[in-house]
Amino acid sequence: MVLMFTLFLSLWCGLSAQEGFPKSPQELDIIEKKIGEARTILKRDAGRLWGRGMWNDSLLIIDTQHNGVLSCVNLNGSRQLQGALYYLPLENGELNYVNTVQTLRGEEFVTVLDSYVKDDLTILHETFHKLHFSLVNDLSADPISYLDGFEARILLRSEFSALKNAITAMNHNASEDSILAFIRDAFLFRKIRQTRFAAFVPRELELETVEGLAVYTSFKLSRIPNKFLLILREIDNRTAAESLTRAFAYASGAAYGFILDYLGLDWRADLADRRVFDFLKIYETDHLKREIEIEDGEIEAARSRNGYQKIEQEESIRKERTDKLTAFYQKLFFEKGVVKVDIPKPVAGFNMSYDMNGTFVLEGEGTVYSSVSGTDTQKRYFGNFEMKSALGEGGALMIDSADQYTFIFPKPLKVEKAKIVGEKYSITLNSGWKLSKTEAGNYRIVKEDKP
């Protein structure tokens, strides 16, 4: 996650080694091949998928081991390797190590970690983000907290089970009646869930539009022949995550996109004209020509076809673990000393990346991130932080309020000038900020008083 971000990757250029460059010729050959493949795919698409060409030559490949970037743009201070490729060493903190759009020395670039250039899926995914956010730039991609609740998880997992059955049936060329039955089941579970939790649906659709369409695009354009196996793998990977609050969108968007294609619907309206893609509404309006009716008989049949009882049993066991995590984090953040710091909205230039499988919704409070880093790229806020932990061992709590984000860290072990060190984390303060002791053994990071 990045508090304010746009995600994308694209570009091709010739790559070759030069003496003194930190990457080997073999590594550069792989980068050249994969970026070249992506360029060919996107050039060949020529705007057919979304009505607009996606190719763009703004790209920085981050060399994570040596803190530098590969670029096809001759940046100030960079050196040419060969042909159109340049290498620029970075100063610490100039870029966050994430696949996203970031500002470097006053200019916006797409940044891609070198480890993510190994397949064209990531490149195509990030390229779509660039196009999408150039047209619609106000969508939220924050986690949807209710999706980790007991009832919501059962319904969402049932929906995914039906999606998996539908895609499997499509992959095996099953009968149309069988495929359509599983498709109806998926939309029925979705209808029930979104009706019961209607207040969360607008933000849910924004996240699903952001990430789901990107995954759909990468699968649709990929040279991998069996797209259905890609979707099935995505569903399995995302539903296996500890938290579904953000992971769900990657799988649901891809699956529903291919399902709407199977139904022969002309659903890919120009991205600039449709702010969010509501798959349920598209299905009801363009295919059924009516709204889905929630009837007891249909619900029972859908449950029977998609393993509802097993899902319910698994979620009951999971709830026991959830209750233990809740007790642990309530004690960690509200019964012991903590460090608090605020980031006022709107946020600009503060990037936060995290392991989405290591998050936990602390009901009524916020979201716990067990493995997370935050980088103040423009030094507008308190500084940078890094948390390395696992769920049930540690973490940082983020509270999202109307006018600010509040981060809460466990009580520090030591403070060394601008460095705050905890058992599982460290915070590096920017100049002009300090750690101040407050009530009951707590601390708050605040601006220093000007003389």
> Is residue 200 scored above 60 in pLDDT?
yes
Of 248, 275, 306, which marks where a domain is finished? 306
State the pLDDT at residue 279.
Answer: 98
Report the C-alpha gap between 199 and 196 in whole angstroms. Answer: 9
pLDDT at residue 22, as a whole number = 63
pLDDT digits (tens, 9 = 90+) for 205-241: 999 999 999 999 999 999 999 999 999 999 999 998 8
* Per-residue model confidence as pLDDT tens digits over 399-434: 999 899 999 999 999 999 899 999 999 999 999 999
**Contact indicator for 185, 306 with CB cutoff of 8 Å:** yes
Q: Distances from the Cα of 90 to the Cαs of 221, 280, 416, in angstroms?
A: 33, 46, 25
Where does the pLDDT of residue 96 fall: very low under 50, low under 70, confident under 90, or very high at 90 and above?
confident
Whether the CB-CB separation of 62 and 116 falls below 8 Å is answered with no
Among candidate residues 78, 102, 135, the one where a domain is terminated: 135
pLDDT at residue 451, rounded to an integer = 61
Q: Torsion-angle region of residue 106: left (phi > 0), alpha (psi -120 to 50) or beta?
A: left
Are residues 350 and 262 part of one domain?
no
When divided into structural domains, the chain yields a total of: 3
Closest CA to 96 of 139, 70, 64: 64
pLDDT, tens digit (0-9, with 9 covering 90-100), for 312-347? 999 999 999 999 999 999 999 999 999 999 999 988
pLDDT band at 79 (very low <50, low <70, confident <90, very high): confident
Helix (H, G, I), strand (E, B), or coil: what is residue 445? Answer: strand
Q: For residue 264, is it within any domain?
A: yes
Residue 227: partners with Cβ closer than 8 Å, 6 or more residues away: 219, 220, 258
pLDDT number for residue 34: 81
pLDDT of residue 318: 93
What pLDDT is stored for residue 21 in this prediction? Answer: 54
Q: Report yes or no on 76 lying in a domain.
A: yes
Average pLDDT in the chain: 89
Residue 449 — pLDDT band, cuts 50, 70, 90? confident
H/E element holding 237? helix 227-239
Query: In 3D, which of 409, 405, 404 has the Cα closest to residue 424?
Result: 409
pLDDT digits (tens, 9 = 90+) for 165-192: 999 999 999 999 999 999 999 999 999 9
- Look up the domain containing 86 and give its range: 25-135
**Are 287 and 324 contained in the same domain?**
no
Q: How confident is the model at residue 387 (pLDDT cuts 50, 70, 90)?
A: very high
pLDDT of amino acid 130? 87
Reply yes or no on whether the pLDDT at 9 is more than 70.
no
Residues 221 and 295 in one domain: yes
242/169 same-domain check: yes
What pLDDT was estimated at residue 7?
28
In terms of pLDDT, which residue wins out, 439 or 6?
439
Task: Give yes or no: residues 261 and 360 share one domain.
Answer: no
What is the DSSP annotation of 361-383? EETTTEEEESEEEEEETTS-SSE
The pTM of this model reads: 0.82
Give mean pLDDT, residues 125-139. 90
E-only strand ranges, 24-82:
60-63, 68-71, 79-82
Does residue 18 lie within any of the structural domains?
A: no
Inside any domain, residue 104: yes
- Are 92 and 163 in a shared domain? no
Note the pLDDT of residue 222.
Answer: 95
Q: Which of 79, 109, 135 finishes a domain?
A: 135
Beta strands 68-71 and 79-82: pairing type? unpaired
| pLDDT for 11 beyond 60 | no
Q: Which of 68, 122, 66 is nearest to 99 (CA)?
A: 122
Most confident of 29-33, 278-282, 400-404: 278-282
| Predicted pLDDT at 97 | 80
In the chain, the N- to C-terminal Cα span, in Å, equals 37
Residue among 92, 82, 102, 103 nearest 20 (CA):
82
Residue with token string 């499988």: 357
* The pLDDT of residue 241: 86
> Does the N-terminal peptide bond of residue 202 adopt cis geometry, omega within 30 degrees of 0?
no
Query: Is 15's pLDDT higher than 60?
Result: no
Q: Is 303 helix (H, G, I), strand (E, B) or coil?
A: helix
Residue 430 and residue 392 in one domain: yes
